[in-house]
């Protein structure tokens, strides 16, 4: 039995081998030609934003500023059977053929380098491994620090830097092989998790809750009235936000919608598609690290109420290396027993101290002399 606040972070260097580079030559084809035209038209140097430095920045922050009690363990590659829990066999055939090659897969900038397919297999396998660790009570909660990310990958299509839908593969694995009945997926990435939504669109046993910047922001899906269909009608919940929305909007959605939805659904496992691009450094939304901390605290309370604290975070986006690495560390700090922050009060105590220090110069204490105003 795991102790409370016992958390494992899963990190594996095999995921660094995914390194698409806009400057290497790709397989000739119409798609490649079209993308080159777009990039040339932009007339700015273009670097693939989803690069290995994202993971190494997180690893190095956890080394220089370690979290007491945090365990870090290696990941594992997914089997084909595991990948097939989220994707159709023909798609897996197509992707596996790309091992050792460079190619553009989608107009929306999804590309592979020779090591990408194996890196993506480790990413999906590591999300499932983290889920097993939590369900089998090796730890209360876990964080799969993976790339390439997954939530845009659909059953038969790679999109938005994503090859395999890591969180969906993990959720389906929990349902199929680990004995979980009801799995809740919370996606707080700035972008809508179109792939995850499509995989569980008709599934009443997976509650998908997604807060994101609204269309026309990428990928353009996730309308409020997209609620699932068939048996799954009502188990997809989308909260689209305007650009620049921040802590108050995210926390209100969590406290007043996510918590009641979770209490209604009674999950026995909660997975989080944890992207850190809602942070203001990534320029789409205006979320602070204190808010990531508070949201983790809310999820931890919900998980402890319904499922013995079982929380599995799976990394999605986040492209500013500073806010990304600090975001992951902030979440881990709460999972490891730290007190969640209270957004909006940072610096207020210091201001109160400054007021107490200065204020008598301007407003005398009751019973004191009248203010004389500035000399002259």
Which positions touch Zn ion (CB under 5 A)? Answer: 189-191, 275, 277, 317
DSSP result, 59-116? HHHHHHS--TT-EEE---PPPHHHHTTTS-HHHHHHHHTTTT--EEEETTTEEE-TTH
Q: At 34, phi and psi to the nearest 5? A: -65, -45
Nearest-CB residue for Zn ion: 317
Q: How far is the CB of 161 from Zn ion (least distance, A)?
A: 9
In the bound state with Zn ion, the residue whose beta carbon lies nearer, of 125 and 149, is 149
The conformational region for residue 152 under phi > 0 = left, psi -120 to 50 = alpha, else beta, is alpha
In the bound state with Zn ion, the residue whose beta carbon lies nearer, of 181 and 215, is 215
Tokens 């899906």 sit on residue: 221
Q: How far is the CB of 15 from Zn ion (least distance, A)?
A: 17
How far is Cα 376 from Cα 368, in angstroms, rounded to an integer? Answer: 22
Closest CA to 147 of 172, 121, 109, 185: 121
CB atoms within 10 A of CB 16: 18
Q: Is the dihedral of CA 337, 324, 345, 359 positive or negative?
A: positive
Return the structure tokens found at 210.
């997604």
Q: How far is the CB of 285 from Zn ion (least distance, A)?
A: 10
Adjacency order of strands within the sheet including 141-144: 71-73, 7-10, 141-144, 311-315, 269-274, 183-187, 206-213, 236-241
In the bound state with Zn ion, the residue whose beta carbon lies nearer, of 142 and 285, is 285
Q: How far is the CB of 221 from Zn ion (least distance, A)?
A: 13
In the bound state with Zn ion, the residue whose beta carbon lies nearer, of 86 and 317, is 317
Q: At 211, phi and psi to the nearest 5? A: -110, 130
Q: How far is the CB of 147 from Zn ion (least distance, A)?
A: 12
| Active-site annotation holds for 279 | no
In the bound state with Zn ion, the residue whose beta carbon lies nearer, of 273 and 296, is 273
Q: Which of 152, 192, 212, 279 is catalytic?
A: 152
Q: How far is the CB of 185 from Zn ion (least distance, A)?
A: 15
In the bound state with Zn ion, the residue whose beta carbon lies nearer, of 19 and 189, is 189
13, 83, 115, 153, 347 from 120: Cα distances, Å: 12, 10, 9, 11, 41
Q: Which residues are designated catalytic?
A: 152
């Amino acid at each position: 039995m795991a102790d409370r606040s016992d958390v494992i972070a899963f990190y594996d260097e095999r995921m660094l081998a995914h390194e698409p580079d806009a400057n290497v030559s790709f397989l000739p084809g119409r798609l490649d030609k079209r993308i080159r035209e777009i990039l040339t038209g932009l007339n700015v140097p273009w670097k693939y934003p989803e690069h290995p430095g994202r993971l190494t920045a997180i690893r190095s922050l956890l080394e220089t500023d370690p979290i007491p009690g945090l365990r870090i363990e290696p990941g594992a590659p997914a089997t084909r059977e595991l990948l097939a829990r989220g994707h159709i066999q023909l798609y897996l055939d197509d992707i596996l053929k790309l091992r050792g090659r460079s190619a553009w897969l989608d107009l929306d900038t999804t590309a592979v380098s020779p090591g990408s397919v194996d890196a993506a297999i480790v990413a999906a396998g590591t999300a499932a491994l983290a889920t097993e660790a939590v369900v089998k009570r090796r730890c209360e909660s876990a964080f799969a620090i993976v790339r390439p990310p997954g939530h845009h990958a659909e059953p038969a299509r790679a999109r938005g830097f994503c090859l395999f839908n890591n969180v969906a593969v993990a959720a389906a694995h929990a349902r199929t092989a680990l004995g979980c009945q009801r799995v809740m997926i919370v996606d707080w990435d700035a972008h809508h998790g179109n792939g995850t939504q499509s995989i569980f669109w008709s599934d009443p046993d997976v509650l998908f809750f997604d807060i994101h910047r609204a269309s026309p922001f990428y990928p353009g899906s996730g309308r409020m009235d997209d609620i699932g269909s068939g048996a799954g009608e009502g188990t997809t919940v989308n909260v689209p936000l305007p650009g620049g929305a921040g802590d108050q909007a995210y926390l209100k959605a969590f406290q007043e919608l996510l918590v009641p939805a979770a209490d209604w659904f009674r999950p026995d496992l909660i997975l989080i598609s944890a992207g850190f691009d809602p942070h203001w450094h990534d320029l789409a939304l205006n979320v602070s690290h204190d808010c990531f901390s508070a949201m983790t605290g809310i999820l931890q309370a919900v998980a402890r109420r319904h499922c013995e604290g079982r929380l599995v975070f799976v990394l999605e986006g986040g492209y500013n290396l500073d806010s990304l690495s600090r975001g992951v560390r902030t979440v881990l700090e709460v999972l490891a027993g730290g007190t969640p922050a209270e957004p909006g009060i940072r610096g207020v105590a210091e201001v109160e101290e400054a007021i107490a220090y200065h204020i008598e110069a301007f407003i005398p204490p009751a019973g004191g002399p009248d203010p004389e105003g500035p000399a002259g």
